[in-house]
Amino acid sequence: MKVAVVGATGLVGRKMLQVLEERAFPVTEFLPVASERSVGKTVTFKGDAYKVIGMEEAVAARPRVALFSAGGSVSLEWAPRFAGVGTTVVDNSSAWRADPGKKLVIPEINAGVLTREDKIIANPNCSTIQMLVAIAPLHERYGIRRIVVSTYQSITGTGVRAVRQMEAERAGESAERVYPYPIDKNCLPQCDAFTGNGYTKEEMKLVNETRKILDESIRVSATAVRVPVVGGHSESINIEFARDFDIDEVLSILRGAEGVVVQDDPGNALYPMPITANDRDEVFVGRVRRDFSRENSLNLWVVADNLRKGAATNAVQIAEYLYRNSLL
């Protein structure tokens, strides 16, 4: 099982190495891959040091699976090159998510759509992953008509330069500015670039990916906010169902859902937070309550580590499913 991690020196790439090791994925030969400026650097995997190699060398090595986290332009150029030599690519960028010919997969929800012929598989956006892991079982039971979601997204979703910006601001030092304004002690109602309809790309990912994975008929309205947090993304989700529901049944469904942990005890101040979701693979759900302003409507608060379940872990879980089902 020859495995390549493309973008191995980045935040998500390093997290992929950690998750592969923790979950004991059966790696027999490991290839850390990155851009030319990182070639020759060293990364550690399972206690051993590995030299980072370039893209051409990695393609020539014909890995069985390649986990990509190197940006959309890199994926558009190189994922087909890897696929062309028989490698199965699991891509964490936005490059292939909207492509009708590529599967967009959250293993807890729709891994069954995968076949041996799928050589480029898209990992959904981090915010989409955690939201759908939480609400897909409720959609199955009650039928979701509409979602209104506001996200409170960690700076780690932007990358290591954003972490450096916030740390510098907190230390009173100057640093390269990744955001148009200071992020420490601030919230920015902008994640990614704005599109022509007034929504950001991040907000439109929540709309389009939800419809592609769960149900084309679901209407989604999203607002994505960047907050000075490192541990994970949080989401306030309002759902309108086709049918009425019982809160106790909703909680029972959530407690039985794969990958979900319910933290819902307001009397004892128990609810999900990024600080407790940090470095965990589960999606945490709390503040579960009926929306009394609209029929058949429910409010949830959902938190997950965006670098793990929102990126690295989901990608590794896809690879695990392919391996278990002899699809690699």
Instruction: Quote helix, strand, coil % in the chain, to nearest 5.
Output: 35, 25, 40
In 143-246, alpha helices (H): 160-170, 201-213
Token pair of 178 as six digits? 């990744």
What is the location of CATH 3.40.50.720 in the chain?
Answer: 2-124+311-324
Q: What are phi and psi of 319, to 5 degrees?
A: -60, -40
Q: Which is it for strands 65-68 and 88-91: parallel, antiparallel or unpaired?
A: parallel
* φ, ψ of residue 147 in degrees (nearest 5): -130, 130
Please classify residue 92 by burial: count the beta carbons closer than 10 Å to its beta carbon, then call 0-12 exposed, 13-18 middle and 19+ buried.
buried
Domain limits, CATH 3.30.360.10, in the chain: 127-306
Has 126 been annotated as catalytic? yes
Q: What is the C-alpha to C-alpha distance for residues 164 and 174, in angstroms, rounded to an integer?
A: 10
Q: DSSP states of 240-295 as a string?
A: EESS---HHHHHHHHHTSTTEEE--BGGGTB---HHHHTT--SEEEEEEEE-TTST
Mean pLDDT by 10 residues, the chain (328 residues): 97 97 98 94 96 97 97 96 98 97 98 98 98 98 98 96 96 93 97 98 98 98 98 97 98 98 98 97 98 98 98 98 97
89: nearest Cα among 216, 213, 4? 4
* 133/247 Cα distance (integer angstroms): 18
Strand partners, 147: 220, 239
pLDDT of residue 175: 85
Looking at residue 194, what is its pLDDT?
98
Contact 9, 52 (CB under 8 A): yes
Among candidate residues 126, 139, 187, 191, the one labeled active-site is 126
**2-124+311-324 classified as CATH 3.30.230.70:** no
CATH number of 127-306: 3.30.360.10
Residue type, 228: P
Q: What is the pLDDT of residue 213?
A: 98
pLDDT digits (tens, 9 = 90+) for 267-294: 999 999 999 999 999 999 999 999 999 9
What are the structure tokens assigned to 224, written together? Answer: 């994505």
- pLDDT for 81: 98
In the chain, the largest separation of any two C-alpha atoms, in whole Å, equals: 60
